[in-house]
A and B are shown apart, each in its own frame.
Chain A
Amino acid sequence: MGGLSGASGAAPSPGPARGRGAALKRARRLLGAATVASLLLTPSPAPGAARTITMSGASPAQAVVADLAYFYRRERADAPRFSLVGGGTGIGIADAARGIVDAGLSGRGLEPGDPPGLTFTPLARSAICLVTNPANRVPNLTRAQLQPLVSGATTSWAQIAGAPRRDAIERVTFDVTSAARNVFLTTFVDLATPLAPATTYTASAQVRDHIAATPAAFGYVDLEFARRLHAVPYEGVPCTRATVADGSYPARRTLGFVTRGRPAGALARFLAWIRTDATARRVIASRYVVP
Chain B
Amino acid sequence: MGRLALSRRCPIPGRTASLVVAFALATAPASAAPTDALQGEQWAVAPGTVFDLPGAWALAAGAGVTVAVVDSGTRLDHADLAPNAWTNFAEVPGNNVDDDANGYVDDVHGVDLTTKGAAQDLHDGYGHGTHVAGTIAAAANGRGVVGVAYRAKIMTVKVLDDQGGGTTGGVAEGIRYAAAMGARIINLSLEGNVDDPRMRTAIEAAAAANALIVCSAGNSGVNVDQQPVYPVAIPASNVVGVAATEPDQGRSLPDFSNYGRLTVPVAAPGVEVISTSKSGGYEFKSGTSMAAPHVAGVAALMASVAPHLPAAELRAQLLQHATRGSVPVSAGYVDALGAVLAASGTASYDRSQPPSLRVLSATRKGRTTQAQLAVLGAAGSVARIELRLDGRRVAQLRGGRTVLNVRLRNRAGRRLAVYALAADGRRLSRASARVRTLRSGKRHVGTGGGIGGAVWVG
Contact = CB atoms under 8 A, between A and B. Distances in A.
Please determine whether chains A and B interact with each other in the same assembly. Answer: yes
B280 interface: no
Interface in B1-33: 11-16
Interface in A1-18: 1-2
A210 interface: yes
A94 B330 contact: yes
Interface string B422-440: 0000000011100000000
Interface stretch (A83-91, A136-144, A251-259, A283-291): A83-91
Interface residues of B, number: 46
B324 A203 contact: no
B236 interface: yes
A1 B393 CA distance: 11
Contacts of A201: 11
Interface stretch (B79-87, B93-101, B147-155, B315-323): B315-323
B237 A40 contact: no
A202 B330 contact: no
Interface stretch (A26-34, A96-104, A119-127): A96-104
Contact of B349 (A2, A85, A175): A85
Contacts of A66: 349, 352
Contact of A56 (B13, B316, B391, B432): B316
Contact of A203 (B321, B330, B331): B321
A214 B349 contact: no
Contact of A86 (B236, B237, B320): B320
A175 B324 contact: yes
B312 interface: yes
Contacts of A101: 237
B421 interface: no
A95 interface: yes
B222 interface: no
Contacts, number: 106
B263 interface: yes
A95 B408 CA distance: 40
A99 B235 contact: yes
A83 B208 CA distance: 13
B353 interface: yes
24 contacts: A44-B430, A47-B358, A54-B312, A56-B237, A66-B349, A83-B237, A83-B310, A84-B350, A85-B237, A85-B313, A86-B316, A87-B319, A88-B320, A90-B331, A91-B265, A91-B316, A94-B330, A97-B262, A98-B235, A175-B323, A202-B320, A203-B321, A206-B11, A209-B11
A99 B332 CA distance: 21
B430 A85 contact: no
A202 B237 contact: no
Nearest to A4: B391
A214 B14 contact: yes
Given A87-B331, A90-B331, 20 more contacts: A1-B391, A39-B430, A40-B430, A44-B430, A81-B356, A82-B349, A83-B237, A83-B350, A86-B313, A87-B317, A88-B319, A91-B316, A94-B261, A94-B262, A98-B262, A99-B235, A201-B11, A202-B322, A203-B320, A210-B11
The 6 tightest CB contacts between A and B, nearest first, are A85-B316, A87-B316, A98-B235, A175-B324, A1-B391, A84-B349
A213 B12 contact: yes
A67 to B, nearest CB: 11
A115 interface: yes
B342 interface: yes
B13 A214 contact: yes
B11 A2 contact: no
B376 interface: yes
A212 interface: yes
A62 interface: yes
Interface of A: 1-2, 39-40, 44, 47-48, 54, 56, 62, 66, 81-88, 90-91, 94-95, 97-101, 115, 175-177, 201-203, 205-206, 209-210, 212-214
Interface in B428-458: 430-432
A48 B11 contact: no
A66 B348 CA distance: 11
Which among B14, B317, B353, B358 has the greatest number of chain A C-beta atoms within 10 A? B353
A4 to B, nearest CB: 9
B324 A94 contact: no
A33 B159 CA distance: 53
Nearest to A176: B324
Nearest to B201: A48
Contacts of A2: 391
B431 A83 contact: no
Interface string B234-254: 011100000000000000000
B272 interface: no
B355 to A, nearest CB: 11
A213 B331 contact: no
Contacts of B320: 86-88, 91, 202-203
A291 to B, nearest CB: 23
A213 B20 CA distance: 14
Contacts of B208: 47
A152 to B, nearest CB: 19
A100 B234 CA distance: 9
Contacts of A56: 237, 312, 316
Contacts of B12: 209-210, 212-213
Contacts of B352: 66
A100 B236 contact: yes
A81 B376 contact: yes
Contacts of A214: 13-14
B319 A213 contact: no
A205 B349 contact: no
Nearest to A40: B430
Contacts of A203: 320-321, 342
Interface in B285-311: 310
Contacts of A206: 11
Contacts of B261: 94
A86 B317 contact: yes
A213 B16 contact: yes
